[in-house]
């Protein structure tokens, strides 16, 4: 088994990880059969999700005790606030979803469940706890896009897959895996793995619930 923390966490929660990365929502994205209503519901909630992730990185800056870690958190926070939210809204417009309509939509229970779990782990624990809770989303999307691979040109979800399969996103995911190892070396130890694995497993289940929320909207 790999010595990398992320790989150990994933192996320790293998069934939850498969349920998340091989969810019916993901399979329908891959073959282009996902109902548009399901994808639209996902897109709206994913925007609201991003806002809470921005808060998580603000918390990460507060939880940091080195300038390098503060810069790491600030870079990710600014990336979400200045770039990702705007790109997401542009993408949503292509699906007939206006900014006003998206911002008027309440957060789904599944959106609140995962994002507030992440924030709670960050507030109750330290920077390592917070990043472990974030990692199923950050790294999972990269793994999902790689597993889907090239999609047919007529697949309506091709742009979504290509976004997360891009070199830029894949590099960011690899960087997060390396950052987890750095945090574990500086802040962890053998006795922490059990609690970190529990956090990772819970976050992974909540991510699968987020897919299911979108899928249910298409039925």
* pLDDT tens sequence across 120-158: 999 999 999 999 999 999 999 999 999 999 999 999 999
Q: Among all chains, which residue has been given the structure tokens 């917070």?
A: 130
- pLDDT, tens only, 44-96: 999 999 999 999 999 999 999 999 999 999 999 999 999 999 999 999 999 99
Q: Which residues neighbour 1 within 8 Å (Cβ) at sequence distance 6 or greater?
A: 7, 8, 11
Q: Could you state, in order of their start, the residue ranges of all structural domains in the chain?
A: 5-217
pLDDT at 218 over 90: no
- Report the C-alpha gap between 109 and 40 in whole angstroms: 16
Closest CA to 76 of 62, 57, 48, 55: 57
**Minimal CA–CA distance to 135: which of 45, 20, 2?**
20
In the DSSP assignment, the letter for residue 66 is S
Query: What does the CA dihedral 119, 105, 157, 78 come to, rounded to 10 degrees?
Result: -40
Predicted structure pTM score: 0.95
The pLDDT value recorded for residue 189 is 82
Burial of 82 (0-12, 13-18, 19+ CB in 10 A): exposed
Question: What's the residue count for the chain?
Answer: 219
pLDDT number for residue 216 = 95
Cα 219 versus chain centre, distance: 24
> Where do the DSSP E strands lie in the chain?
none
Task: Kindly report the CATH number that applies to the domain delimited by 5-217.
Answer: 1.20.910.10
CA-nearest of 88, 28, 18 to 219 is: 28
């Amino acid at each position: 088994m790999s010595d990398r923390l992320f790989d150990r966490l994933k192996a320790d929660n293998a069934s939850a990880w498969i349920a998340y990365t091989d969810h019916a929502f993901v399979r329908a994205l891959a073959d282009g059969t996902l109902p548009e209503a399901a994808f639209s519901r996902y897109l709206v909630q994913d925007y609201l999700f991003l806002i809470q992730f921005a808060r998580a990185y603000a918390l990460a800056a507060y939880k940091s005790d080195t300038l390098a870690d503060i810069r790491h958190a600030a870079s990710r926070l600014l990336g979400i606030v200045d770039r990702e939210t705007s790109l997401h809204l542009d993408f949503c417009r292509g699906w007939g979803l206006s900014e006003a309509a998206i911002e008027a939509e309440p957060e789904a229970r599944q959106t609140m469940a995962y994002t507030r779990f992440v924030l709670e782990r960050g507030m109750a624990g330290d920077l390592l706890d917070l990043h472990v809770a974030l990692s199923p989303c950050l790294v999972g999307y990269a793994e999902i896009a790689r597993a889907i691979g090239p999609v047919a040109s007529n697949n309506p979800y091709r742009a979504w897959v290509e976004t997360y399969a891009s070199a830029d996103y894949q590099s960011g995911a690899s960087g997060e895996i390396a950052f987890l190892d750095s945090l574990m070396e500086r802040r962890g130890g053998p006795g922490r793995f059990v609690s970190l694995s529990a956090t990772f497993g819970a976050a992974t289940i909540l991510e699968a619930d987020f897919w299911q929320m979108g899928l249910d909207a298409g039925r």
